[in-house]
Amino acid sequence: MKRKPDHYTEQARKEGFPARSVYKFDELQHRFGLVRRGDRVLDIGASPGSWTLRLLEITGKEGRVVALDRKELPELSRAGNTAVCLLADITEPEQYSMLNEYAPFDTIVSDAAPNTSGHRTLDTARSAVIVESSLALTETMLRPGGNAAFKLFQGGDEQSILATAR
């Protein structure tokens, strides 16, 4: 039997967002002020597009949001010409060159998550690979003094990844 969507899922859909994760981004933005009008932002693992749509609202027509994902993002059709959707896998460094024309970025964010298996150790390790790949990308694509925020599953080697990020 299908579960009824929760309050936040329903609210996100009413507001035109494909997923409730938009509110997670709103919390980050409120707390850390990651993004400003006119910024160039890279959204890694952008599907289904909620973060990208919110980023477009914040950056405005003066900014640029590049959404990177392995899947198409049909939600971005309403976004206009300030959104660029690139099909790529963040864990494949040979694909990074497609970002060169848009870099440097003021902010790089990622809400990417691996397909979960139900095995915490495996899922955490897969999440770490995504974050490590994202961190490697920031070394060449993030402007000095820029902001970065990535989702990382807890339960493994996250402390060493956090130390690297700092």
Instruction: Judge whether 74 and 98 are in contact, CB under 8 Å.
Output: no
Kindly name the residue from 4, 14, 24, 151 that is annotated as catalytic: 151
Collapse the DSSP code of 37 into the 3-class scheme (helix H, G, I; strand E, B; otherwise coil) and give the result. Answer: coil
Distance of CA 130 to the CA centre of its chain: 11
Asked about 151 being catalytic, the answer comes back as yes
Distance of CA 165 to the CA centre of its chain: 16
Q: Read off the tokens for 111.
A: 């809400």
- DSSP-derived letter for residue 20 is T
Other beta carbons within 10 angstroms of residue 50's beta carbon come to 24
- Of 65, 18, 23, nearest to 41 by C-alpha is 65
Query: Active-site positions?
Result: 151
